Structure 1
Amino acid sequence: MTDSIVRAKGWRNDLEDQSFLYGAAVKFSYLKAAELPEKVDPRGKIGVKDQGQVGACSGFSRSYCMEALSNGIGGQGISFSPMFCYLTGQKTDNLLGSDTGATISGGIKASRQYGNCPDHLFPFPGRYVSTIPETCWEPAEQFQLLAHSSVNSAEECRQAIGSGYPIYLGILWDQSMDTAVLDTYRVRNNGGGHAICLLGYEGDYFYMLNSWSEKWGDRGWAKWHVRAVEAMIRSQYSEFFAVSEIEQPEPRQWNYEQMPLLG
């Protein structure tokens, strides 16, 4: 079930730095298909956020990826500031100063250069602002994304997630995707670009976390079938990348089972 409120998106696929995204990508080491965990279920372990009418989806999805890495792998229990992520991505994209969205490439570059700020230092204001508090910069440097890898199939998505790495992605989005279960995907270019992330899987479905509050989808989450994800990846209007907080990614285990449920 989804609510009727129209929320912003904000992924600028028209401005993506393709030379960086693919030229700076590295090959991650993944588990073989037979070695992957049967499921990875982060629902209830990562807090659902709401970007409202701010075009900050790239910042929200980046903050989710950092929380998956810091909490689902590192067990640190940290929430990251989506507004810091959005604005530093905009800064890298030369878009800072107006609510015009940002890119996946800008988010990855910014996460390497500036890091990611804990949320309590820059809570989401519910509207666009362009000034980053000075208290954010130094703490943010402790939490960086240091590597990314292009994902070229739904099976690679499963391998990446099963090996301990979330998927940071951007796709074209329209109203047909406002559903808690998505079985098919058809490329459309009239709905705008949206950045989200894949954080888990079970059976033939991936768990996608959106940034439109718990009123959207299944308490903020959606299940995407592998054939829908495969169609997204094949589209020329999409970007799918596994991201890591370490420079030479090797397989590791999630610890979601040991984390307490939120709320």
Structure 2
Amino acid sequence: MNRLVLDIGNTRCKYGIFDENDFIIDYHVTDDLDAVLIDHLCSGHAVSTIGLASTRNLELGTIHQIAKKYHLVYIDDTVKVPIKVLYRTPETLGRDRLAAVVGANHKYTGENCICISAGTCITYDFIDQEGVYHGGNIAPGLQMRLEAMHAFTDKLPLVEAVYNEDVLGKSTVEALQNGALRGAIFELESFIQLMIEKFGPVRVLISGGDSNFFADRTKYQIFAHSNLILEGLNEIMKFNGY
């Protein structure tokens, strides 16, 4: 039986249909949760069970509409996961972050993995080679950094997210761009280095809307994996017998 999993992020909703062999056979992205699209996907792929994880508040009417027609599994902190979690406040842990490390552990069993999601915020999460999730960090995303400097000062302009080859900004616009964008790169590289020093060799996986920005601009090898969270949600569904 095919399965639909939904990753509802702060800015985008991702839909993935998985077949019985765990291959994604259909994939869509929208800004908001779309019950009509869900109907279309479920009827077209013989789906009866839906797994949903969200980092935003959802319109209850839409949720009720979906739940009336399908077996809807809301993946929250009460749902069991196939890894050991050391996070002290699991009820506050974003399901997207948890799904990412579950997906990484399934795909790269026996390896230390860093999962980076570069979206509205940039999240860094670490799972070791034994399948133990140690936690991670949350930082402002690229656009948030630029908007914050404009919003919390009187004279700094809001600038576009443009990467400059010169590490030293020759104008205030370039200085803001370098501070935000290069600062994020330095932050990412520092996190990777610290994990290597503490745990040894790591595989670094990145997803999210800004993942392409980082992929070729760091001194470490980073593997882009756009469906990592969906794959992790699928593994959580399977682990719970859905």
TM bucket normalised to smaller: under 0.3
Question: Quick one: higher RCO (CA 8 Å, sep 6+), 1 or 2?
Answer: 1
**Higher strand fraction: Structure 1 or Structure 2?**
2
Tell me the TM-score normalised to structure 1 length: 0.24
